[in-house]
Amino acid sequence: MTENLIAFIDNLKNNLRLSSYSEDQTKMAIIQPILRRLGWDTENVDEVCPEFSVENRRVDYALRLNGQSTVFIEAKKPSEDLESQSHQEQLLDYSFRQGVDLAVLTNGITWSLYLPRAGGDWRSRKVTTIDLIEQETSNVASKFVDLLSKKNIESGKALHNAEAIHKSKLKEKAVQDALPESWNRIIEEPDSLLIELIAERAERICSYKPELTEVTKFFKRYQDQFLLLPAEEQLRTGERPRVKKREKSPVQEPSENLKISQDDLIPHLVKILRRHGGRASKEQVEKEIYSMFKSNFDHSWYQEKVSGGVPRWQHNLAWAKERAKKRGLIKRPSESGRGFWALTDKGMKFS
C-alpha cells in the first residue's frame, strides 16, 4: 500500500498542471486515486459515497463502513483557499451533527484533518495538515496511512492516532503559552532564592555582595526590558523573545502621572470591545487605545522597542489582554479567532 502511494504522490509532485485543475478534476485525478491506494473501494457507493446528503446539504464524500459514516471529505479545487472560516465551520458542523469522528477539507494538494467532536473552534480541532507538494513524500504517505487508510479507520487506530496528535498539540500549545508568563512572573515578583543567587554571583564577579534590596531594585528598574510578549504575540511578530542590548542605555521613564499600568488598561480594553459588540480586531483595539492615551504613549519610553521588537505601549496592552483573559473577561484565541479579541459573557457584564 505505502509503496504504491509513494509512487503516486511522486508523480503528482511532478505534475505542473495540478494548480489549474477544477474541483471535478481534483476529485477524479487526486482524491479518488489516493483513497483507492488507502484501501477504499471508490467504485462502491456504499463505501465511498459521493455527494452524501446531510440534512439539507451535501458533503463531497462520505467514507462508510457497516452502514455508518466514518469520515467526511469536503473537496475544493487547488486554487481554493482552505483557510476560509466558512469552509471549515460548515464541514465541522455537519460532521459533528452526524457523529462523524474524522473530517477532511482538501483542495487535492493540501489535506487538513479535523476531530469534529473535539472541543473549541475549528482551529483548535485541527489535527494536522498534509501537503503533497511541500512535505516529504514518505511522511505524506505515512500520515495518509495512519489517519485515513480503510484498515486503520475500521480498527479505530486512525481515530486513536488522530487523538494522540491532537492531544500532543494541545499540550505543546499550553506549555508555549505558559512559559512566557512563568518567566514574567519571576521577573515581576522575583523569588528570594533567585535574588540570593544573583547576589552571590555578583559577589564572585566583583568580590562584593550587594544587598538583597539592591538586587530587587535592579529587577524593578529593568523589568520591562526583561518581560516577554505572550506566546500568541511572539508568533504574530515572527520574532524570537529578546531583551535589550547591554550597551543601550535605558530611555528616561515618564513621570508617574503619565504611567499607565497593564491593569489600568483592562477596563478601557473591555469598553472598546463592548462598543464593537464584544469582538474586534487586535489592530482596531490598538488603534483606539493609542488614541485614548496618545499623550501618554507618545512619550519616548512607551515608544521604546522591548521584547518581540514592539513598542512598550503595545507590549503592555498585549499583557493587559492576557491578564483580562486570566480573569475570565476575554476569550481564548481559539474561540475569538486569529487576530481578534472577544469578550466572554463575564467580560460583557464587567464594569
pLDDT one-digit tens code per residue, 86-107:
667 778 777 887 889 999 999 9
Tens-digit pLDDT string for the chain (351 aa)? 788 999 999 999 888 788 889 999 999 999 999 999 999 999 999 999 999 988 778 899 999 999 999 999 999 998 887 776 666 777 877 788 788 999 999 999 999 999 988 876 667 788 999 999 888 999 999 999 999 999 999 999 999 999 999 888 878 877 877 787 788 778 777 888 888 888 898 888 888 889 988 988 888 777 777 777 666 665 555 555 544 343 444 677 888 888 888 888 999 999 999 999 999 999 999 999 999 999 999 999 899 887 667 888 998 898 889 888 888 899 987 788 778 899 999 999 887
Closest CA to 181 of 137, 139, 230, 223: 230
Sheet strands (E) in 85-243: 102-106, 110-114, 126-131
Residue located via cell numbers 487508510: 149
Please, what is the end-to-end C-alpha distance for the chain in angstroms? 61
Indicate the pTM of the whole model.
0.57
Q: All domains of the chain, ordered by start, with CATH? A: 2-168 (3.90.1570.30), 255-349 (1.10.10)
Report the C-alpha gap between 312 and 322 in whole angstroms. Answer: 15
Radius of gyration of the chain (CA): 26
Report the C-alpha gap between 246 and 195 in whole angstroms. Answer: 20
Report the C-alpha gap between 103 and 189 in whole angstroms. Answer: 46
Report the C-alpha gap between 209 and 344 in whole angstroms. Answer: 49
Residue type at 210?
P
